[in-house]
């Protein structure tokens, strides 16, 4: 199994695999990535709030890889519960009917932004750390000094963390802290940092020096993450990452793309539509 998987990935990333992909590319594929805020070794995973909400788009039509993030406090329209903060959709659905949370979130994202979701990944703290460590860590260019005196610990305490501006290497645990901290700025910047980390993981996976890490990385994904995208489907998209992944388009639904109503933030779908149409359909 491991040898066959590795050989399959090697072919997908070879000139022959890339050539076949370019000659007959698949449709646009949108993968919903959800980060759970459940602490390790607890029973709250299924009903935990969603710490990050992001769509990874692989678009052969305009030859692009894109990330689209919805900050957790932006409201989206749930089919069953109406307009809710994005980070509460899964939890509300699970409390109402066990096992319905992911489907409710997919339907909310599709209906609110008029996109098609083709699969999902739910990433826990442990799985995130395992994936970053599996690729040998990542390089992040921290844009500004960040300090958070109230970063939440696994035991529901708090600690002080800081990141200095500039390029630095991060292991999985450090990257998780960088992606999760929010008291130093706001959720919009937090979403941008999360995209920065995902792009760094993609960049590391595309490096020839990392190919020997692929079996470990794939094991980290499928052993620790909840997903309905199987290994064969990921392999079928690997040439797209090789062809288009040298630059990842990043978009956050920030203050420029929201409407304020009664103190709450709603997406301004009219201003979002041009970007969504170009990169996610």
Q: Give me the pLDDT at residue 14, please.
A: 59
Q: Give me the pLDDT at residue 23, please.
A: 80
Q: Give me the pLDDT at residue 185, please.
A: 79
Q: Give me the pLDDT at residue 60, please.
A: 93
Is 32 in contact with 106 (CB distance < 8 Å)? Answer: yes
CATH class of this structure's domain 2-279 = alpha beta
Task: Enter the DSSP assignment of 97.
Answer: S
pLDDT digits (tens), the chain, 281 positions: 444 344 455 555 556 667 777 788 889 999 999 997 665 555 555 566 788 999 999 999 999 999 999 999 999 999 999 999 999 999 999 999 999 999 999 999 999 999 999 999 998 888 889 999 989 999 999 999 999 999 988 887 899 999 999 999 999 999 999 999 988 778 899 999 999 999 999 888 888 777 677 777 777 777 778 899 887 888 788 888 888 888 899 999 999 999 999 999 999 999 999 999 999 99
Q: What is the pTM of this model?
A: 0.87
- The tokens for 150 are 């109230």
Q: Give me the pLDDT at residue 182, please.
A: 84
Rounded to the nearest 5 percent, the helix, strand and coil shares of the chain are: 45, 25, 25
Q: Could you please report the per-residue DSSP string of 221-237?
A: HHHHSEES--HHHHHHH
| Rounded distance between C-alpha atoms, residue 161 and residue 152, angstroms | 10
- Residue corresponding to tokens 């040439």: 239
Q: CA–CA distance from 136 to each of 14, 132, 175, 197, 211 (Å)?
A: 22, 7, 12, 13, 11
Picking from 69, 76, 71, 72, the residue whose alpha carbon sits closest to that of residue 112 is 76
31 Cβ contact partners less than 8 Å away, ≥ 6 residues apart: 55, 56, 57, 58, 117, 118, 119, 120, 121, 229
Q: Give me the pLDDT at residue 24, please.
A: 80
| Rounded distance between C-alpha atoms, residue 183 and residue 165, angstroms | 17
């Amino acid at each position: 199994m491991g040898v066959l998987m590795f050989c399959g990935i090697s072919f997908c990333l070879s000139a022959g695999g890339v050539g076949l992909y370019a000659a007959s590319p698949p449709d646009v594929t949108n993968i919903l990535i959800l980060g759970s805020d459940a602490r390790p070794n607890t029973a709250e995973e299924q009903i935990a709030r969603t710490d990050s909400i992001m769509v990874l788009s692989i678009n052969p039509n305009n030859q692009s890889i894109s990330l689209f993030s919805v900050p957790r406090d932006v409201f989206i329209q749930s089919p069953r519960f109406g307009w809710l903060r994005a980070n509460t959709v899964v939890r509300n659905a699970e409390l109402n009917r066990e096992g319905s949370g992911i489907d409710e979130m997919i339907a909310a994202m599709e209906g609110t932004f008029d996109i098609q979701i083709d699969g999902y990944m739910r990433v826990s703290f442990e799985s995130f750390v395992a994936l970053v460590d599996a690729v040998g860590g990542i390089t992040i260019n921290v844009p500004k000094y960040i300090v958070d005196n109230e970063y939440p610990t696994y035991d529901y305490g708090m600690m002080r963390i800081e990141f200095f501006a500039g390029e630095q290497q991060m292991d999985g645990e450090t990257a998780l802290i960088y992606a999760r901290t929010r008291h130093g700025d706001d959720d919009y910047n937090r979403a941008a940092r999360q995209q920065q980390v995902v792009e760094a993981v993609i960049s590391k996976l595309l490096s020839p020096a990392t190919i020997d890490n692929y079996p470990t990385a794939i094991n980290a994904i499928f052993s620790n993450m909840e997903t309905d995208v199987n290994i064969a489907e990921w392999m079928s998209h690997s040439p797209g990452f090789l062809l288009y992944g040298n630059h990842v388009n990043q978009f956050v639904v920030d203050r420029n793309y929201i409407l304020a109503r009664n103190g709450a933030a709603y997406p301004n779908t009219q201003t979002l539509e041009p970007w969504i149409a170009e990169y996610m359909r």
